[in-house]
Amino acid sequence: MLLLLVCIGVAAKKRVKNQVPVVLVAGQSNTDGRVDNAELPEYIRQDGYRYCLWSFGSGTHSGKGHFAPFYPRNYSQKPERWGYDAVVYYELERLWKRPFYVIKESLGGTAIDPRCESTNNMHWSADRDYLAGTAASDKGGLSLLKAFTGNIGACIDNQLSQLPEGYDIKFMLWHQGESDRSQADSYHDNLKAVVSYVRSYLVSKTGLQKYAHLPFICGTFSKNSKQGVPKVAAAMLQLQAEDPYFYVVDVTDATLGPDQIHFDASGAELLGKRMFEKIKQLLIHTAPAKR
């Protein structure tokens, strides 16, 4: 009996160690991607992607709870474009050398605060009254947050929960805030509510309390951005000081395209590389051997 219990314990530990990684990603245009695919870094164009599978939603477009091999695109008028996350996935492929899953929701020009102008009047707001008054953006409503979490749930039900190794949601990447510049004083509370909503949803969906501390990795704006106002960046830093699982990646030195809003190829790559460096720190810190 003792030997049986030991074997069961070893098998359980091995299963936890081998769980398939899952990454969450959300935001507005710089997350959506605004750099032409012809300008992907040479190493990505040469190597491509082998392991990354994604479920991508954008406004009225639903991820539908299904995954497909990743290659950069969006739902804009120029879909063959990439953002910083394409660099993160490439680096994660080299690090993990195994299949992993991405659940992404992004739409350019979108705000958290419903008082702000936002594409198609869709918002990320976690305000209870706002959420009670609208459906998910991919189901005829205006809530991007409901669309995002709804797709996370569908991905868990349709595929992730069926994986024999199990799955583990590692962290969430976020780049957004330019569209909230007119309500910058409220950005701290608004973003804090979004973070809390996603974490609470994951705890409720999975029954795992660990997701109450899901790491959020948030990028700042270039110092030359016409829309990245200092108060929004300061709100991110305030959240970092308050929340030990919220991390800010500074890219005030990132370069921009001609519109002085969106990262150019070098700027997008810089944010992706710096986000990956933060991810490596988190993964080392939370590796089983370090617990």
Inter-CA distances, 30 with 206, 220, 228, 247, 257, Å: 30, 11, 12, 18, 11
Quote the CA–CA distance of 265 and 280 in Å, as a whole number.
Answer: 22
Pairing between β-strand 20-27 and β-strand 167-175 as defined by DSSP bridges: parallel
Tokens 């490596």 identify what position? 280
Q: Which amino acid is at 209?
A: Q
What integer pLDDT is reported at residue 291 of this predicted model?
Answer: 23
Residues of the chain with pLDDT under 50: 2-14, 287-291
What does the domain layout of the chain look like in residue ranges? Answer: 21-290
Pairing between β-strand 100-106 and β-strand 52-57 as defined by DSSP bridges: parallel
Cβ atoms < 10 Å from Cβ of 95: 14
Report angle CA 101, 104, 107 to the nearest 5 degrees: 165
Give 218-262 pLDDT, tens digit per residue. 999 999 999 999 999 999 999 999 999 999 999 999 999 999 999
Whether residue 201 contacts residue 149, with contact meaning beta carbons closer than 8 Å, is answered with yes
Give 143-167 pLDDT, tens digit per residue. 999 999 999 999 999 999 999 999 9
Phi-psi label, residue 33: left if phi above 0, alpha if psi -120 to 50, beta otherwise: left
Q: Helices in the chain by DSSP H: which ranges?
A: 2-17, 29-32, 42-47, 84-96, 128-132, 144-158, 187-206, 230-242, 265-285
Q: Which of 42, 30, 285 is nearest to 171 (CA)?
A: 285
Give the global pTM.
0.93
* DSSP state letter for 129: H
Phi, psi of 58, deg, nearest 5 = -155, 100
What integer pLDDT is reported at residue 17 of this predicted model?
Answer: 74
What integer pLDDT is reported at residue 16 of this predicted model?
Answer: 64
Quote the CA–CA distance of 233 and 236 in Å, as a whole number.
Answer: 5
Beta carbons within 8 Å of 81's beta carbon, 6+ residues apart: 32, 33, 34, 35, 36, 37, 72, 73, 74
What integer pLDDT is reported at residue 284 of this predicted model?
Answer: 78
Say whether 209 sits in a helix, a strand or coil: helix
Whether residue 250 contacts residue 65, with contact meaning beta carbons closer than 8 Å, is answered with no
Say whether 247 sits in a helix, a strand or coil: strand
Kindly state the tokens that stand for 236: 């991110």
* DSSP H or E run through 68: strand 68-69
Whether residue 214 contacts residue 199, with contact meaning beta carbons closer than 8 Å, is answered with yes
Q: Given CATH 3.40.50.720, say whether it is the number of domain 21-290.
A: no
Q: Which amino acid is at 129?
A: D
Quote the CA–CA distance of 55 and 66 in Å, as a whole number.
Answer: 6
